[in-house]
């Protein structure tokens, strides 16, 4: 371990030289065990590590995150997979440890966005998890430790170039202030060390007050996920995992539409017709993901359909809009978290279409009464946390 780590370049190849380092010669809390992680890799690694560490502490279950461009494509805790999800996540041929289950869920939430992800894992990586990672297209992983056999599996990935980073789990920044420089000007603020508490879920503002243990778990996942997602952001959560993240949009309704569309696709992937698509033997996971995404779109092009002959053993029948809607109507008990208040009821209307039963937001809009009324119309439980979770 050293106080400085040189990088090939920064965010782009023309941004060289680049490095990560600690002031005053303090030792870096990370050790590169294999490969050469890049600038963006390490931004993903350090943001995602904070997320899974905090999630593990809050829920006391192994946690995993699949990060792309400094926002999570998927986040999950270790919750046993149903046979349907095992098949949808391409893991029905694997024996999964709790940690591997958490990553299978994180990766399975939005497989297109997770392509080439950076993985964060809260616990020591075991062989089961390493075998799953070996099957996916990924840039690297950060974790507090690695079993020797698991490390060897990961070292063999990407022809020996896979980035494996170990972080000291006891590390915390010595300063409570964080500083960044933009255009030669320094910004300084108190580090966002506010942790989720059960008190964040006590201010229920709707007529419906029910909040089962499973919903509280999902509220915690939404809260912590939003804390490390580029704003504006919303997060749909179900069954112990994020199922749709809308990040970095200027409009809140666009966040909800984006995340809701991802949640819908997550649910549609579990339709029996999708689970049993007639793929040709040997079709790789990314090609299956792309074909499923095209298959579920209503605007698929003739050229895309022509390519299906390369992946399907026989031409499959697409689901009709009414068949999709019938299946989507079965999605329920979903939690929606927002990093800031909803200014209009349109987000609630869109959330209802994706089975949302629980809503978490800070509150504080001049139209809170209109938003609460919309939640009441749909029979939702809405909580005002009073905590904004912007992240930039």
**Alpha carbon distance 329, 278 (integer Å):** 26
**Alpha carbon distance 378, 374 (integer Å):** 7
The closest of 44, 31, 45, 51 to 166, measured between CA atoms, is 31
**Alpha carbon distance 383, 201 (integer Å):** 6
In angstroms, what CA-CA distances link 80 with 85, 241, 335? 10, 11, 19
Catalytic annotation, residues: 68-69, 232, 392
pLDDT at residue number 175: 87
The closest of 332, 247, 249 to 65, measured between CA atoms, is 247
The closest of 60, 34, 30 to 48, measured between CA atoms, is 30
Do residues 215 and 333 lie in contact, with contact meaning Cβ atoms separated by under 8 Å? yes
Backbone angles phi, psi at 270, to 5 degrees: -95, 0
Q: What is the DSSP letter of 204?
A: B
pLDDT at residue number 388: 98
Helix (H) or strand (E) holding 180: strand 177-182
pLDDT at residue number 1: 61
Beta bridge partners of 6: 19
pTM: 0.96
Q: Which domains does the chain show, CATH number per domain?
A: 4-167 (3.40.140.20), 195-268+328-384 (3.40.140.20), 278-318 (1.10.287)
**Alpha carbon distance 116, 156 (integer Å):** 16
pLDDT at residue number 190: 96
Structure-derived torsion over alpha carbons of residues 243, 246, 252, 253, reported in degrees to the nearest 10: -60
Sign of CA dihedral 218, 220, 221, 226: positive
Structure-derived torsion over alpha carbons of residues 139, 68, 392, 37, reported in degrees to the nearest 10: 10
Please state the three-class secondary structure of 55-93 as a single string. Answer: HHHHHCCCEEEEEECCEEEEEEECCCCCHHHHHHCCCCC
Length of the chain counted residue by residue: 392
The closest of 356, 267, 288 to 82, measured between CA atoms, is 267
**Alpha carbon distance 206, 71 (integer Å):** 31
Q: How many CA atoms lie within 13 A of 130 on its CB side?
A: 21
**Alpha carbon distance 118, 83 (integer Å):** 26
pLDDT in tens, the chain (392 residues): 678 999 999 999 999 999 999 987 789 999 999 999 999 999 999 999 999 999 999 999 999 999 999 999 999 999 999 999 999 999 999 999 999 999 999 999 999 999 999 999 999 999 999 999 999 999 999 999 999 999 999 999 999 999 999 999 999 998 899 999 999 999 999 999 999 999 999 999 999 999 999 999 999 999 999 999 999 999 999 999 999 999 999 999 999 999 999 999 999 999 999 999 999 999 999 999 999 999 999 898 988 888 888 999 998 999 999 999 999 999 999 999 999 999 999 999 999 999 999 999 999 999 999 999 999 999 999 999 999 999 99
**Alpha carbon distance 80, 221 (integer Å):** 16
**Alpha carbon distance 220, 226 (integer Å):** 10
């Amino acid at each position: 371990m050293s106080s400085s780590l040189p990088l090939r370049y920064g965010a782009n190849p023309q941004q060289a030289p680049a490095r990560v380092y600690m002031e005053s010669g303090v030792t870096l809390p990370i050790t590169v065990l294999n490969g050469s992680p890049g600038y963006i890799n390490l931004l993903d690694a350090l943001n995602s590590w904070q997320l899974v560490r905090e999630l593990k502490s809050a829920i006391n279950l192994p946690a995993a995150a699949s990060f792309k461009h400094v926002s999570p494509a998927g986040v999950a805790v270790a919750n046993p997979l149903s046979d349907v999800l095992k098949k949808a996540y391409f893991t029905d041929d694997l024996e999964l440890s709790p940690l591997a289950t958490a990553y299978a869920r994180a990766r399975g939430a939005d497989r297109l966005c997770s392509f080439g992800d950076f993985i964060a894992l809260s616990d020591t990586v075991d062989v089961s998890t390493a075998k799953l990672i070996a099957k996916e297209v990924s840039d690297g992983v950060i974790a507090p430790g690695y079993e020797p056999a698991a490390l060897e599996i990961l070292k063999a990935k990407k022809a020996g170039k896979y980035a494996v980073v170990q972080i000291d789990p006891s590390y915390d920044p010595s300063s409570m202030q964080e500083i960044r420089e933009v255009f030669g000007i320094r910004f300084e603020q108190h580090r966002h060390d506010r942790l989720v508490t059960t008190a964040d879920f006590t201010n229920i503002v709707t007529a419906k007050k029910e909040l089962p243990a499973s919903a509280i778990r999902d509220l915690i996942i939404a809260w912590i996920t939003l804390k490390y997602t580029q704003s504006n952001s919303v997060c749909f959560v179900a069954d112990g995992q994020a199922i749709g993240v809308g990040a970095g949009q200027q409009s809140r309704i666009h966040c909800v539409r984006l995340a809701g569309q991802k949640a819908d696709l997550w649910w549609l992937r579990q339709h029996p017709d999708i689970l049993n698509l007639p793929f040709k033997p040997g079709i790789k996971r990314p090609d299956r993901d792309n074909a499923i995404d095209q298959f579920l779109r209503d605007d698929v092009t003739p050229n895309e359909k022509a390519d299906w002959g390369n992946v399907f053993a026989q031409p499959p029948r697409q689901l009709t809009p009414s068949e999709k809607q019938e299946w989507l109507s079965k999605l329920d008990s979903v939690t929606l978290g927002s990093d800031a208040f909803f200014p209009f009821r349109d987000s609630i209307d869109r959330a209802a279409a994706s089975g949302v039963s629980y809503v978490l937001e800070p509150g504080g809009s001049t139209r809170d009464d209109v938003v609460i009324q919309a939640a009441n119309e749909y029979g939702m439980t809405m909580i005002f946390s009073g905590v904004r979770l912007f992240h930039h």
